[in-house]
Amino acid sequence: MAAFEASAEEAAGLPGAGPLEPERFRKVVDILREQRLVPPVPAGNPAPPTDITQESAAFPLDRSGRLQMLARAETGGVLALAYSSMRGYGSVHPTVGELRVGRVSVRIPHPFRKGETLTLGSIVVTEVEIVASVQRSEGDDVPAFSLGYGACFGHNEVKAISTAVLDRAMKTAAPQAPAEDHEFVLMHTDGIESSGFCSHFKLPHYVTFQADLDRLRSLKGAAE
Protein backbone atom coordinates (compact mmCIF):
# COMPACT_ATOMS: atom_id res chain seq x y z
CA MET A 1 0.00 0.00 0.00
CA ALA A 2 2.89 2.36 0.70
CA ALA A 3 3.94 2.26 -2.96
CA PHE A 4 0.63 3.83 -3.96
CA GLU A 5 0.65 6.59 -1.33
CA ALA A 6 2.16 9.63 -3.06
CA SER A 7 1.87 13.16 -1.78
CA ALA A 8 0.16 15.83 -3.86
CA GLU A 9 3.53 17.38 -4.65
CA GLU A 10 4.92 14.04 -5.86
CA ALA A 11 1.81 13.30 -7.93
CA ALA A 12 1.99 16.71 -9.60
CA GLY A 13 5.64 16.09 -10.49
CA LEU A 14 5.07 12.74 -12.22
CA PRO A 15 5.80 12.61 -15.99
CA GLY A 16 2.71 13.50 -17.99
CA ALA A 17 0.74 14.50 -14.93
CA GLY A 18 -1.01 17.84 -15.02
CA PRO A 19 -1.98 20.04 -12.09
CA LEU A 20 -4.28 18.41 -9.58
CA GLU A 21 -6.80 21.25 -9.94
CA PRO A 22 -7.25 24.11 -12.36
CA GLU A 23 -5.98 27.52 -11.35
CA ARG A 24 -9.32 29.05 -12.25
CA PHE A 25 -12.74 27.45 -12.63
CA ARG A 26 -14.90 28.57 -15.53
CA LYS A 27 -18.44 29.70 -14.87
CA VAL A 28 -21.07 27.13 -15.78
CA VAL A 29 -23.25 29.76 -17.44
CA ASP A 30 -20.34 30.80 -19.69
CA ILE A 31 -20.00 27.21 -20.90
CA LEU A 32 -23.75 27.05 -21.59
CA ARG A 33 -23.56 30.38 -23.40
CA GLU A 34 -20.83 29.08 -25.72
CA GLN A 35 -23.18 26.24 -26.65
CA ARG A 36 -26.03 28.73 -27.25
CA LEU A 37 -28.08 27.12 -24.50
CA VAL A 38 -28.55 30.44 -22.67
CA PRO A 39 -29.05 33.93 -24.16
CA PRO A 40 -25.92 35.85 -25.26
CA VAL A 41 -24.70 38.90 -23.39
CA PRO A 42 -26.46 41.97 -24.90
CA ALA A 43 -24.24 43.92 -27.25
CA GLY A 44 -23.48 47.63 -26.80
CA ASN A 45 -22.95 49.75 -23.73
CA PRO A 46 -25.47 49.14 -20.95
CA ALA A 47 -27.58 52.00 -19.66
CA PRO A 48 -26.42 53.61 -16.41
CA PRO A 49 -27.93 51.74 -13.45
CA THR A 50 -30.79 53.25 -11.53
CA ASP A 51 -29.87 54.54 -8.06
CA ILE A 52 -32.85 53.84 -5.82
CA THR A 53 -31.31 55.96 -3.07
CA GLN A 54 -31.53 59.02 -5.34
CA GLU A 55 -34.60 58.29 -7.46
CA SER A 56 -38.11 57.29 -6.42
CA ALA A 57 -39.14 53.85 -7.61
CA ALA A 58 -41.63 53.93 -10.50
CA PHE A 59 -43.19 50.68 -11.63
CA PRO A 60 -42.43 48.76 -13.72
CA LEU A 61 -38.86 49.26 -12.49
CA ASP A 62 -35.82 48.45 -14.62
CA ARG A 63 -33.70 45.44 -13.75
CA SER A 64 -30.91 47.36 -11.98
CA GLY A 65 -33.45 49.01 -9.69
CA ARG A 66 -35.23 45.72 -9.02
CA LEU A 67 -32.01 43.98 -8.01
CA GLN A 68 -31.06 46.87 -5.73
CA MET A 69 -34.41 46.75 -3.94
CA LEU A 70 -34.22 42.98 -3.56
CA ALA A 71 -30.69 43.21 -2.15
CA ARG A 72 -32.06 45.49 0.60
CA ALA A 73 -35.27 43.50 1.11
CA GLU A 74 -36.21 41.27 4.02
CA THR A 75 -34.92 37.73 3.58
CA GLY A 76 -38.16 36.19 4.81
CA GLY A 77 -40.28 38.25 2.43
CA VAL A 78 -38.06 37.46 -0.55
CA LEU A 79 -38.08 33.76 0.31
CA ALA A 80 -41.87 33.65 0.75
CA LEU A 81 -42.60 35.12 -2.67
CA ALA A 82 -39.88 33.08 -4.41
CA TYR A 83 -41.19 29.93 -2.74
CA SER A 84 -44.66 30.67 -4.10
CA SER A 85 -43.23 30.55 -7.62
CA MET A 86 -41.25 27.38 -6.91
CA ARG A 87 -44.39 25.62 -5.66
CA GLY A 88 -46.44 26.39 -8.75
CA TYR A 89 -47.94 29.84 -8.09
CA GLY A 90 -45.66 31.06 -10.86
CA SER A 91 -43.45 29.51 -13.51
CA VAL A 92 -39.92 29.48 -12.06
CA HIS A 93 -38.52 26.21 -10.67
CA PRO A 94 -34.81 26.71 -11.33
CA THR A 95 -31.48 24.91 -11.37
CA VAL A 96 -28.56 26.68 -9.69
CA GLY A 97 -25.90 27.35 -12.30
CA GLU A 98 -23.43 29.23 -10.13
CA LEU A 99 -23.43 30.00 -6.41
CA ARG A 100 -20.50 31.90 -4.95
CA VAL A 101 -19.59 33.63 -1.69
CA GLY A 102 -16.61 35.96 -1.45
CA ARG A 103 -15.31 39.40 -0.59
CA VAL A 104 -15.55 42.37 -2.94
CA SER A 105 -13.76 45.69 -2.67
CA VAL A 106 -15.65 48.87 -1.89
CA ARG A 107 -14.26 51.68 -4.04
CA ILE A 108 -15.14 55.36 -4.37
CA PRO A 109 -13.89 58.04 -6.78
CA HIS A 110 -10.76 59.77 -5.49
CA PRO A 111 -11.79 63.19 -4.15
CA PHE A 112 -8.74 64.96 -5.61
CA ARG A 113 -7.25 62.77 -8.37
CA LYS A 114 -9.52 62.54 -11.38
CA GLY A 115 -9.86 59.06 -12.81
CA GLU A 116 -8.51 57.33 -9.71
CA THR A 117 -10.36 55.42 -7.01
CA LEU A 118 -9.91 54.76 -3.32
CA THR A 119 -10.51 51.35 -1.75
CA LEU A 120 -12.31 51.70 1.56
CA GLY A 121 -12.29 48.01 2.43
CA SER A 122 -14.18 44.87 1.47
CA ILE A 123 -17.52 43.24 2.24
CA VAL A 124 -18.83 39.68 2.03
CA VAL A 125 -21.27 39.13 -0.83
CA THR A 126 -23.28 36.12 -2.02
CA GLU A 127 -24.25 35.87 -5.68
CA VAL A 128 -26.03 33.26 -7.76
CA GLU A 129 -27.08 32.65 -11.35
CA ILE A 130 -30.00 30.30 -11.92
CA VAL A 131 -31.02 28.46 -15.07
CA ALA A 132 -34.77 28.42 -15.53
CA SER A 133 -37.35 27.40 -18.11
CA VAL A 134 -36.71 27.38 -21.86
CA GLN A 135 -37.89 30.44 -23.76
CA ARG A 136 -37.22 32.19 -27.03
CA SER A 137 -35.18 35.37 -26.67
CA GLU A 138 -36.43 38.58 -28.29
CA GLY A 139 -35.16 38.74 -31.87
CA ASP A 140 -33.83 35.17 -31.74
CA ASP A 141 -35.81 32.15 -32.91
CA VAL A 142 -33.42 29.70 -31.20
CA PRO A 143 -34.85 28.42 -27.89
CA ALA A 144 -32.61 28.75 -24.86
CA PHE A 145 -32.73 28.53 -21.08
CA SER A 146 -33.67 31.75 -19.30
CA LEU A 147 -31.50 33.16 -16.53
CA GLY A 148 -32.01 34.84 -13.19
CA TYR A 149 -29.46 36.66 -11.05
CA GLY A 150 -29.33 37.44 -7.37
CA ALA A 151 -26.80 39.10 -5.06
CA CYS A 152 -26.97 40.19 -1.45
CA PHE A 153 -24.75 41.29 1.41
CA GLY A 154 -23.20 38.68 3.69
CA HIS A 155 -23.22 34.90 3.48
CA ASN A 156 -26.90 34.34 2.69
CA GLU A 157 -27.42 31.67 0.05
CA VAL A 158 -31.18 31.39 0.63
CA LYS A 159 -31.74 35.08 -0.05
CA ALA A 160 -29.47 35.09 -3.11
CA ILE A 161 -31.29 32.13 -4.67
CA SER A 162 -34.69 33.61 -3.82
CA THR A 163 -33.64 36.94 -5.37
CA ALA A 164 -32.57 35.18 -8.56
CA VAL A 165 -35.91 33.36 -8.74
CA LEU A 166 -37.80 36.65 -8.40
CA ASP A 167 -35.49 38.34 -10.92
CA ARG A 168 -36.45 35.70 -13.47
CA ALA A 169 -40.12 35.76 -12.45
CA MET A 170 -40.39 39.54 -12.90
CA LYS A 171 -39.14 39.21 -16.49
CA THR A 172 -42.46 37.57 -17.38
CA ALA A 173 -44.09 39.56 -20.17
CA ALA A 174 -47.67 39.06 -18.96
CA PRO A 175 -47.63 38.69 -15.14
CA GLN A 176 -50.21 36.26 -13.80
CA ALA A 177 -48.79 35.38 -10.38
CA PRO A 178 -47.89 37.61 -7.40
CA ALA A 179 -44.17 36.79 -7.74
CA GLU A 180 -44.21 38.15 -11.30
CA ASP A 181 -45.64 41.58 -10.44
CA HIS A 182 -43.00 44.28 -9.89
CA GLU A 183 -44.92 46.43 -7.43
CA PHE A 184 -46.30 43.50 -5.45
CA VAL A 185 -42.86 41.94 -4.98
CA LEU A 186 -40.75 45.03 -4.37
CA MET A 187 -43.10 46.94 -2.07
CA HIS A 188 -44.06 43.94 0.05
CA THR A 189 -40.46 42.81 0.62
CA ASP A 190 -39.26 46.29 1.61
CA GLY A 191 -38.71 45.93 5.34
CA ILE A 192 -38.84 49.67 6.09
CA GLU A 193 -41.97 50.20 4.02
CA SER A 194 -43.90 47.18 5.27
CA SER A 195 -42.92 47.28 8.95
CA GLY A 196 -43.48 51.04 9.04
CA PHE A 197 -46.96 50.70 7.63
CA CYS A 198 -47.76 47.91 10.07
CA SER A 199 -46.47 49.91 13.04
CA HIS A 200 -48.47 53.00 12.11
CA PHE A 201 -51.64 51.21 13.26
CA LYS A 202 -50.43 51.86 16.81
CA LEU A 203 -51.04 55.56 16.17
CA PRO A 204 -54.48 57.11 16.80
CA HIS A 205 -57.08 56.42 14.13
CA TYR A 206 -59.87 58.05 16.08
CA VAL A 207 -61.06 60.36 13.31
CA THR A 208 -61.45 57.70 10.64
CA PHE A 209 -62.85 55.16 13.11
CA GLN A 210 -65.37 57.72 14.39
CA ALA A 211 -66.54 58.22 10.82
CA ASP A 212 -66.95 54.45 10.44
CA LEU A 213 -68.94 54.33 13.69
CA ASP A 214 -71.28 57.13 12.55
CA ARG A 215 -71.84 55.45 9.16
CA LEU A 216 -72.53 52.03 10.72
CA ARG A 217 -74.96 53.52 13.27
CA SER A 218 -76.81 55.31 10.50
CA LEU A 219 -77.08 52.08 8.48
CA LYS A 220 -78.28 50.13 11.49
CA GLY A 221 -80.85 52.82 12.29
CA ALA A 222 -82.18 52.74 8.74
CA ALA A 223 -82.33 48.95 8.74
CA GLU A 224 -84.21 48.82 12.03
Q: Which stretches of 36-189 are DSSP H helices?
A: 63-72, 75-86, 157-169, 182-188
pLDDT score of 203:
80
Dump strand ranges (E) for 77-182: 95-109, 117-136, 143-153
The model carries a pTM of 0.79
167 touches 67 (CB < 8 A): yes
DSSP at 10: H
Ranges 13-27, 153-167, 184-198: which has the least confidence: 13-27
DSSP 37-79: SSPPPPPSPPPPPP-TTTS---SSPPHHHHHHHHHHS-HHHHH
pLDDT score of 91:
83
Q: What is the pLDDT of residues 40-63, one digit of tens each?
A: 887 777 788 889 889 888 888 899
pLDDT score of 151:
96
pLDDT above 90 covers what percent of the chain? 45
pLDDT score of 1:
41
Ranges 45-54, 102-111, 143-152, 155-164: which has the least confidence: 45-54
Find, among 135, 131, 148, 144, the residue nearest to 39 by Cα: 144
Cis peptide before 111 (omega within 30 of 0): no
Q: What is the pLDDT of residues 63-93, one digit of tens each?
A: 999 999 999 999 999 999 999 999 988 888 8
Among 17-31, 79-93, 156-170, 189-203, the range with the most confident prediction by mean pLDDT is 156-170
Q: Cα separation of 84 and 215, whole Å?
A: 39
Sign of CA dihedral 19, 32, 125, 49: positive
Higher pLDDT: 105 or 48? It is: 105
The residue type at 31: I
Q: What is the mean pLDDT of the chain?
A: 85
128 touches 162 (CB < 8 A): no
